[in-house]
Structures are given as C-alpha cells and as structure tokens.
A and B are shown apart, each in its own frame.
Chain A
Amino acid sequence: MSMSGQVSVKDNKYKIKGDFHHLELGQPIRNADDDWHLLGITNPRTMIHMHSYGGEAVFFESLSQGKLMAARCDNGKCENKGSIYQPFRTICPDCLVKMTPFDMTDLAKKTAKIHTFMVCERSGAFNLLDKPIKFINIEFDGVCTILFSYLAVGEPKMGMRVVPIFQKKDPTYTILDLAWVPEGTKADQLPRGFSF
C-alpha cells in the first residue's frame, strides 16, 4: 500500500519517504465538430511539493500554541526603529537587520479591528474554507501594517472589534490556523478545533 509523501529534515537535508507523485495516463482530446479528429491530450498530474517557511516558521508554529507572533525593528540606527510588523517578517524592510520576534496576542485581543473586508462567494481549486469566505484585513494599535485573515463567526463590518482564535487542536500549520471572531463571541460558538 502506498504512503503519501512525508518529509523531515536531518543534518539540514530533506529526508523524504512515501510517494510524491501518482502515475496516470492522459486522455485524448477530440473535436466533436470535426469527425472526432485529435486536437490534444490531457496531462494528469498529482505531485507533492516541499516548502520551507524559513525564518517565519516560528509564526506558523506559534499559531498552533495560541500565540500571534509579530516582529519589531530594534535597530538603533534604523530610521523606522520601533516599527512593528504583522504580517510577521524576519528582516526590517528599511535597514535589512534581523528584527525581534515578540508575542502580540494580548495587543491583538485588546486593539484589533477590521480595516476592510470582503465576503467572497467563490474560491479556487484546493480551497479548504467554507463559503462564503469572509476575508478581513485587521489593523492593530502601534502596528504599521494590516494583516489579511478571515472572520470565522458573524458578519464583518469596518471598524468592528475582533479577537484572534487559534486552531490548537489538529492544526494545519498554515495561516488557516488563525481566524478572528467579533469581540464578545462565546467559546462554544467557535469552529471545531479553534479556541481563544
């Protein structure tokens, strides 16, 4: 029995096991308007990619622990010293010096509000979110950027106070482990696997 591809890292090298692709023959594409002459071929392909989060791995790991990590430039020589970035990034875009990661969960709980939003009725292939998807951009006091995420409960409104929730049970280790709900939402209203 085949096993879906799995990856770990040892000695800074990828170690892979299992199947990373599945074989399937293509099918001819024929022209129904022209005596079924051949026009082309389908190319089926299932393949697993590997991807490194690099220095941002701490952000995605922390979501599964109920923490929202941000980054702050502490370089005294930077003209924008003290700037806080969410989305998390490892390097200051101004001075290119490594920034300081810090836990901004409390700041988010106290100050997050919706800057803009979008209720999206459609999705692309491989979508894991329920539709309609309620995209929100969230602003925080003292943070110079505006995080893109989604509202898991309720209807979005500009200026609405929201708080973060985290998929601590069965995390996906993706950005989907972070969602937001209106301030005052009860724990029993949260989606399965999520908690404050």
Chain B
Amino acid sequence: MIKFSDKQLAIPKLMRPVYLVTAGQSKFDRAFPDKRTEELCVDALVQAAEMINMSPAELKSYIHTCYYGHFADHFGDQLLGEALIHDRLGLDPLGNCGVKTGGATGGTTLWEGVKAVASGYSNCVLCMGWERMDEVPTDEGNFYISCAADKDWEGPMGHIYTGYYAVMAQKYWQVFGKQEDSFRKTMAEIAVKHHGYARMNPYAHAPMKITVDDVLKSPVVAFPLRALDCCVMSVGAACGILCDEETAMKLSKNSPHKPLRIWVTAGSHTLRAADRRDMEIPLLPNETKDQYKDLGKKFPGGERYPGFTGFLAARMAAYYAYNQVGIKDPTEDLDVIELHDAFTISDIQTYEDIGVRPYGYGRDYVESGDCYHTNPKTGKPGKLPSNLSGGLIGCMHSVGATGIMQVFEIACHLWNRWAEVHGDEKRWKAFGRQKPSDWTDLQVKGAKRALAISHAGVGSHVTCTILQNPDHLIKKDA
C-alpha cells in the first residue's frame, strides 16, 4: 500500500488568472501526402487569428513564448521539428520548448502554457500541437507506437501497444463489466455515438453512420476490443493562445467571443501497468471513503486500486483541478466535456476516474443517455454531454494535437460558436468533405464550464483542463 504526503496532495494555485483567448485547428485525416506538417500548423494558427477577427501577423505580434506538443519524433524522422515549425510560423527569435507526454502531449502543452502566463513570465503564449503519423505503413507505425512502452520488458512482446492496453480492458470487462453482453453493447454504443457526432464535424477524420451491430461485427483487435472500438491514427495540428487578463482584453477587442478562464492540472502513473502498487482510492469532492469499502464484494476482482481497471493519473488530475476551481460535482458543475476515448472502454473508465460515476459504475452514465447532446431516452438535453467532436474515435488522434483539439471543441461551446465553426459550408468545401444533409447543430445551449481529459498510453500522464466563462466562476479566487 503506498501513500501520498500532504505536500504532494497540495492544491495548485495560479499566481494570476490565465485566459484562453482563441484557438484553431487544421483538418484531420489519415494522411496528408500533399502537405508538410508546418503547413498544417500554419492552418491552425491562421484559424486562431480569424476566430478573433485579427490578422495572423497582428496576433503573432502579441506572442511572447511558444510551447510545442509533438510526441513521436521517429514517425517524422525529424528531431527539433519544433524549431522548423517555429521558423515557418515566423516566430523567431521567441523562446520555444518542445513538450512530450505521449497521448497527453496536447494537454501537457497547455499545462506548460498556463504556468508560463500564471507565473508572469509571459503575457501571451502560443500552445501548438501536431502529429505526423502517415509517413510509415501501419505495421511500422504500430512498432513506433510500441516504443512508448518499456523497450526491454514490454516492446519485444508483439510490438503492439493496443495489446499492452488491452490487458486492462480485459480486466475491466471481466470485473466491472462482468462479461455481460449488455456491457459489450454499451461499449459499442459509444463507438456509434462518437463516429456519429464526427459526421457533424468538418475537421473529423472518421465520420461514420454505423450501428451497434456494425461495431460488434467489426474485426477483433484484442478481445473484447474490436476495430470500431479503437481510435483513429491521424495527422493534423491544433493551437490555443493563452494570455493574462490585460492582453486577453486587448486581443479580444474585435472578437465575437469573450476570453475564457483556463486551468490545467496533471497526474501521472507508472509507464508499465505491471508496476502499479495497491493504494487507497484518492477521493474527489463528491465521494466518501465509505462508498468504496465493499467494492471488492460488489465486483469480485476489483479490490485492488487502481489495479488494472482505473487510471490513477486521471483521478489525480481531476483531484487537483476540482479542488482548485471549486467543482463539487462534475455532472452538476460542468456543461460539456471531452474525454480521451482511445478505446470505447476508456471512455467508461474515465467517467469513473473523474467522478461522473463512482468506480464500477461508469457504464451507467452511457446507459443513462446523459452523455449525449440530446438524451435518446428522454429527448431532453444530455446532463453532461461528452465528446461531441467525435473524440479520438470519430474526430482524430493526432497525438500532440489531441488535447488541444479537445479544448478548441469545448471552447466553441462556451463561446456559443459551435454551429458557426462546424456548420460553415465553406469549411466543409475547403476540406473536400460533404456536409451531411442531416447535419445537426450540437451546440450545448448556455454552456458556461467545460472539462477536457488528455491521457497517455496506459495512464502514464493525464491532464485535466477546465474552462470557465469568467462571469460564471464557481470559485472567484481560483
């Protein structure tokens, strides 16, 4: 049993408020044989400027420091790609720094940017993330991804990261899912939901109109995970501009939206799931110690925490974030969320890690219908809709950009600009994509607060980003 000290559990405090002023992203796709990565990053920054009715040159004149999230150098066969992109963006001689934390790279890039502004080092920071995963075939790509596992103890075993993750999925499936057909169907519903929402998103890589049956009949990758349970491997870029209050107001003078307050927290856990030791469950504000005392009785095999069923890093990131901004109950206090649905089962697991449902009961949230934009059971708005972008399964997983894409998406809801950004005929056309005849406005009406979880591998790094409309802060001094 391992324990944490009070010092380690101290709640973070920003030295001054930090604002997300604007954000942008490129089209996401499996491959861009006709574009350099730098061009995709330019696309993202140009959109960020357009979102606030500013020229790219004017926006750049405010930027003081740059953080660049890019995980897998070996895919692009290029070290210091950050410097190339920095040059192509015309941002020399500003200080810049590369950030790498696997699948959480995008979130961690924002984490670094927030700290640079909060500390007073910079008044305006560019956080840009991208990934180039199309320059090797799939088998070689799987090998490269497996390099994110321990190269001596895990990598030689198949060089297939999905397999290293899937032992956790199997444990969850058997212990909390009880191997029930109904649980397997719930997982499939997540894939249907996320591929379906991606149809409304012109940026999305994998829009699909599919059924639960299609998911259940798709090829097995690692049982119970099938092909349609898995995220896509994408190419693309996303960025956000973070500022102090004074700069945020200046940059927003012609903007149709107001800047949002932003906080980012982070947690970690062992790179190898094998190294996880037993511990007490760190509690979120809406949980009590007693509620987990009989978890092993209710779910035999679920005694160990986090064992192979939960993500401690996600739990810790949520613990810091909720206590920092004053969230008591995420379902009540938040309006829209984006989770790291690398697999359908991770969506369910994360509902538990972030306290939307207690451990063991994540599936209930999907089955309640409240994770949808419109609850299919009641016809009313979902209580806390998730992954309206399509998530990693439907929209993209361009690793270094993913956590920033999530924040772009939830910001669009808080800015009340989701329909404008996603419904624009010109954008669909520019991306060479057909806007569906049944295109639906997924704007979450009246959204004031949102969350995004950015997650690496089997949970080695996780960040939790909170956005709030500054007029609707839960805690004024957060």
Seen from chain A, the residues whose Cβ lies within 8 Å of a Cβ on chain B are 29, 31, 39-40, 43, 51, 53, 56, 60, 80, 83, 85, 87, 89, 94, 115-129, 131, 133, 135-137, 144-150, 158, 174-176
The stretch that binds A, out of B65-73, B113-121, B156-164, B465-473, is: B156-164
User: CA–CA, A129 to B157, complex, Å?
Assistant: 7
Measured CB to CB, the closest approach of chain B to A56, in angstroms, equals 7
Q: Are B33 and A145 in contact (CB under 8 A)?
A: no
Q: Are A126 and B34 in contact (CB under 8 A)?
A: no
One of A118, A124, A135, A149 near B140 (C-beta < 8 A): A124
Q: Are B152 and A53 in contact (CB under 8 A)?
A: yes
Measured CB to CB, the closest approach of chain A to B15, in angstroms, equals 32
Which residues on the A side are within 8 Å of B151 (C-beta)? 51
Task: Contacts A125-B140, A137-B308 given; indicate if A120 touches B276 (C-beta within 8 A).
Answer: no
9 contacts between A and B (CB under 8 A): A85-B275, A118-B166, A120-B162, A124-B141, A137-B167, A146-B276, A148-B274, A175-B153, A176-B156
Q: Are B152 and A123 in contact (CB under 8 A)?
A: no
Which residues on the B side are within 8 Å of A147 (C-beta)? 274
Which residues on the A side are within 8 Å of B160 (C-beta)? 120, 122-124, 127, 133
Which residues on the B side are within 8 Å of A56 (C-beta)? 152
Q: Are A120 and B146 in contact (CB under 8 A)?
A: no
Task: Identify the closest chain A residue to B149 (Cβ).
Answer: A148
Q: Are B169 and A124 in contact (CB under 8 A)?
A: no
Task: Identify the closest chain B residue to A159 (Cβ).
Answer: B301
Q: Are B142 and A123 in contact (CB under 8 A)?
A: yes
User: CA–CA, A84 to B153, complex, Å?
Assistant: 17
Q: Are B142 and A115 in contact (CB under 8 A)?
A: no
Q: Are A125 and B158 in contact (CB under 8 A)?
A: no
- CB of B6 within 8 Å of the partner chain: no
Q: Are A87 and B142 in contact (CB under 8 A)?
A: no
Q: Are A116 and B170 in contact (CB under 8 A)?
A: yes
Which residues on the B side are within 8 Å of A115 (C-beta)? 171, 308
Q: Are B223 and A119 in contact (CB under 8 A)?
A: yes
User: CA–CA, A31 to B31, complex, Å?
Assistant: 14
One of B142, B223, B273, B277 near A148 (C-beta < 8 A): B273
Measured CB to CB, the closest approach of chain B to A71, in angstroms, equals 12
Q: Are A148 and B146 in contact (CB under 8 A)?
A: no
Which residues on the A side are within 8 Å of B34 (C-beta)? 31, 39
Task: Identify the closest chain B residue to A144 (Cβ).
Answer: B277
Q: Are B274 and A146 in contact (CB under 8 A)?
A: yes
One of B77, B167, B222, B275 near A87 (C-beta < 8 A): B275
Q: Are B163 and A87 in contact (CB under 8 A)?
A: no
Which residues on the B side are within 8 Å of A51 (C-beta)? 151-152
Given contacts A31-B33, A43-B77, A123-B139, 16 further A-B contacts (CB under 8 A): A56-B152, A118-B166, A120-B158, A120-B163, A121-B221, A122-B142, A123-B158, A124-B141, A125-B142, A125-B143, A125-B159, A127-B160, A131-B158, A137-B167, A148-B153, A149-B157
User: CA–CA, A125 to B222, complex, Å?
Assistant: 17
- CB of B63 within 8 Å of the partner chain: no
Measured CB to CB, the closest approach of chain B to A63, in angstroms, equals 12
Hey, what's the 0/1 contact readout for B123-150 against A, CB within 8 Å counting as 1?
Answer: 0000000000000000111111110000
- CB of B9 within 8 Å of the partner chain: no
Q: Are B167 and A148 in contact (CB under 8 A)?
A: yes
Hey, what's the 0/1 contact readout for B167-193 against A, CB within 8 Å counting as 1?
Answer: 111110010000000000000000000
Task: Contacts A115-B171, A118-B169 given; indicate if A87 touches B153 (C-beta within 8 A).
Answer: yes
